[in-house]
Amino acid sequence: MPEGRRRAAVVLASIVVVLLFAACGGGTPAAKVTTNGTTNGTSTWIAQKLPPGTDTLNGVSCPTSVHCWVVGTSSSGGGAILAGSAGANTWSPQHVPTAAKVVGFGGVSCPTTNDCWAVGATSINTGAVVSTTDGGTTWSAQTVPRAVNLLNGALATGLYALRGVSCPTTSDCWAVGATSANTGAILSTTDGGTTWVAQVIPNGISLLNGVSCPTARDCWAVGATSTNTGAVLATTDGGTTWIAQTLPSRIAQTLPSGLYALNSVSCPTTGDCRAVGASSSNAAVAMSTTDGGTTWIAQGIANGISLLNGVSCPPGGDCRAVGADSSKRETIVVAAHGDTTWSTQRVPGGISLLYGVSCSTRSACIAVGTTQSNVGAVLATSSG
């Protein structure tokens, strides 16, 4: 594998690495499936029919219940973007600009049905951003900086992949990832991507996997520290200042391999956020805040779930999270709005891993990942 593609794969598959180490712990019983009625978001998940040529799907964004975009990698070795409607069970590939040199996408954010930004990595060891303003009829490559600022003023050169993106408006976006110097990275734009600027982040962040911005001034980003603990960074001034937030001590642990991370965050409001990931005890992590991150509280997850890769919380609705159980099969968990417990939902057979989820409403969600035959997977629900 060429060096550029190898490096891109390291970041784009970072969640898989966490899974492999977490699942090796063994000794955890299979996840118990519970269905507690509509108050806990019980749903029927249906596998969607996808066009050939789609490999792993990493991210999804649904600005409405009938407009969704999913991103990942194609079987030909490049990035993949699909647009579809869960209700119609119809998904179509969209053209990724050749000039972008994308080897894979890690995340996508669509604030409207016309405007989307997808992020990932290129074959020349840089972060990649492509965007559309016409609902995906055309996608264009955007220019991103090659150097990322650290708090001490030093430059960490070699931004080589972006893992997540959040665009609360059609002008304002934040993208997160990592550099070749093993530091986290945050990029921002206030002009729809005409100009992307590297933002200053605290020292000691080794990787950022996800970001959620309910407004153009308020964002939360999650990942891992250089000391192998989970990390949450927050800004309330549009990125001028990013502050590391304190996590619950009982989950701030390390895996035996020295790898532990938070993988995704969803903040429907400036006070309410959920973050998910993996712990050192071969168990998934979920935590919440209702005060903007001043206090984070660890939440209970059913036994047998090894890690969680993605989470989505629509305003006023239930949260869904996706990941894998201890046998490296798929799982979907759900928590009622404002609740502190998560129950497990059934999904169709043949799914291997789930990486991302997007819920436009309480009852309309899309989850993405890969099947047991190593092709892309999209699951949809419209019941709640």
Percent above pLDDT 90 for the chain: 56
What confidence score (pLDDT) does residue 26 get?
35
The more confidently predicted of residues 341 and 35 is: 341
Q: How confident is the model at residue 48 (pLDDT cuts 50, 70, 90)?
A: very high
Q: How confident is the model at residue 33 (pLDDT cuts 50, 70, 90)?
A: very low
What confidence score (pLDDT) does residue 383 get?
53
Q: How confident is the model at residue 381 (pLDDT cuts 50, 70, 90)?
A: confident
**If DSSP codes are grouped into helix, strand and coil, which group holds residue 250?**
helix
Strand order in the sheet with 54-64: 54-64, 67-74, 79-85, 90-94
Question: Which of 351, 365, 381, 271 is CA-nearest to residue 312?
Answer: 365
Q: How confident is the model at residue 214 (pLDDT cuts 50, 70, 90)?
A: very high
Rounded distance, CA 140 to CA 156, Å? 27
Question: Which of 47, 35, 94 is CA-nearest to residue 369?
Answer: 47
Q: Which long-range contacts (CB under 8 A, 24 or more apart) does 30-34 make?
A: 30/304, 30/325, 30/326, 30/327, 31/302, 31/303, 31/304, 31/305, 31/325, 31/326, 31/331, 31/344, 32/302, 32/303, 32/304, 32/344, 33/344, 33/345, 33/346, 34/302, 34/343, 34/344
CA 255 to chain CA centroid, nearest Å: 21
| Region 287-309 average pLDDT | 90
Average pLDDT, the chain: 83
* Least confident piece of the model among 45-59, 310-324, 340-354: 340-354
Rounded distance, CA 99 to CA 119, Å? 14
258 has pLDDT over 90? no
**CB-neighbour burial class of residue 382 (10 A; exposed 0-12, middle 13-18, buried 19+):** middle
What confidence score (pLDDT) does residue 228 get?
81
28 has pLDDT over 60? no
87 has pLDDT over 60? yes
In degrees, to the nearest 5, what angle opens at C-alpha 25 toward C-alphas 24 and 31?
Answer: 100
Tell me the pLDDT tens digit for each residue of 142-200: 999 877 665 555 655 678 799 999 999 999 999 999 988 888 999 999 999 999 999 98
Tell me the pLDDT tens digit for each residue of 275-294: 999 887 777 889 999 999 99
Is residue 294 a contact partner of residue 273, using CB atoms and an 8 Å limit? no
In degrees, to the nearest 5, what angle opens at C-alpha 264 toward C-alphas 262 and 267?
Answer: 120
Rounded distance, CA 255 to CA 10, Å? 18
Percent above pLDDT 70 for the chain: 81
What confidence score (pLDDT) does residue 112 get?
98
Q: For residue 114, give Cα distances in angstroms to 137, 145, 170, 277.
A: 9, 25, 9, 31
Let me know how long the chain is: 384
Rounded distance, CA 106 to CA 79, Å? 9
11 has pLDDT over 60? no
Backbone angles phi, psi at 17, to 5 degrees: -60, -45
What confidence score (pLDDT) does residue 42 get?
55
Rg (CA), the chain: 18
36 has pLDDT over 50? no
**Topology at the third CATH level for domain 3-381:** Methylamine Dehydrogenase; Chain H (2.130.10)
What confidence score (pLDDT) does residue 229 get?
87
Strand partners, 305: 325
Q: How confident is the model at residue 216 (pLDDT cuts 50, 70, 90)?
A: very high
Domain ranges of the chain: 3-381
| Region 104-129 average pLDDT | 96
The torsion angle over the Cα atoms of residues 318, 319, 323 and 327, rounded to 10 degrees, is -40
| Region 341-351 average pLDDT | 88
